[in-house]
Amino acid sequence: MFLDTDAIKRSLAGSGLRSTPQRYAVMAFLMEQAEHPTAAEIFEAVNRVDPRSSRATIYNNLRDLVQAGLVREVAMEGRAARFDAKGTRHHHFICDRCGNVEDLEWYDVPRPAAASLGKRVLRECELIFRGLCTKCAPRRASRQVF
């Protein structure tokens, strides 16, 4: 993927965030990832290129980017959260066995489901599907006893 340096800086500025070298590095790394890395993986990757960032700096920048809406945090039960900076809206599928996170095409939640929230104010909606990915599902099927 071609990264537009000015576009990253504009998106940071548009969200009210300064474009520090560390924040830019985190954002640029996430934008070129097809996978959904953990904070530890982001720390390692960013520091391979420029070893000036502490873990705290990476974690703080991730928190700021999530709060600004530029990065999504994919919460994983019992596992480290993963991060996603894809600009398009989408849902996620999480494998119960290997923890792989896959993007799923976005579709709108039907109006009756959103209406059932009552007087709550909905900020966003994301569906997370859980099960076995295509790599793990065949292994389970071969172990099943009929």
| CB 19 within 8 Å of CB 8 | yes
Give me the residue label for tokens 């489901």: 113
Number of other CB atoms surrounding residue 23 within 10 Å: 24
Nearest-angstrom CA–CA distance, 122 and 140: 38
The contacts of residue 35 (CB under 8 Å, 6+ apart) are 101
Give, for all 146 residues of the chain, the pLDDT tens digit: 445 778 788 888 888 888 888 998 998 899 888 889 999 999 999 999 988 889 999 999 999 999 888 888 888 778 888 898 877 778 889 898 988 888 888 876 666 565 667 777 766 777 888 899 999 987 655 555 43
Tokens of 28: 């640029």
CA-based nearest residue to 56, from 72, 39, 31: 39
Could you tell me the domains of the chain? 1-85 (1.10.10.10), 88-146 (3.30.1490.190)
> Distance from CA of residue 102 to its chain's centroid?
10
Nearest-angstrom CA–CA distance, 102 and 129: 10
pLDDT at 145 (0 to 100) = 45
